[in-house]
Amino acid sequence: MKEQTFKITAETGVHARPATLLVNKAGQYESEVEVSYNDKKVNLKSIMGVMSLGIPNGAEITITATGGDEEDALKGVSEVIKEHLGE
């Protein structure tokens, strides 16, 4: 299992459009990718799940990837986050 923590710096938080980018990216990998925020964990491949968290600006989120291509998955997701959402 690979894990990494990010801080959301985007003004609007994880809003619908960036969430879509994230989910689409996660969906490209075989591994199970999950995001947890505030003790709640959801599947990062599920748009509704990710949006239901309502992640705001300033939040700390943890992405975990488990599976055959976990390293690539985490790397891919991390790129999307860095480009659109935070650090």
Which residues are tagged catalytic? 15
Sign of CA dihedral 60, 73, 83, 18: negative
| Dist CA 29 CA 20 (whole Å) | 15
Alpha-carbon distance of 59 to 31, in angstroms, equals 24
Does residue 54 touch another protein according to CB under 8 A?
A: yes
Q: Which of 2, 4, 9, 46 binds another protein (CB under 8 A)?
A: 46
25 binding another protein? (CB under 8 A): no
β-bridge mates for residue 3, sequence order: 64
Strand partners, 60: 7
Structure token digits, residue 54: 């309502």
- Interaction of residue 42 with another protein, rule CB under 8 A: yes
Among 2, 10, 21, 43, binds another protein (CB under 8 A): 43
Give the contact letters, 57-86, x = binds to another protein (CB under 8 A), - = no.
Answer: ------------------------------
- What is the binding site for another protein (CB under 8 A)? 27, 40-43, 45-49, 51-54
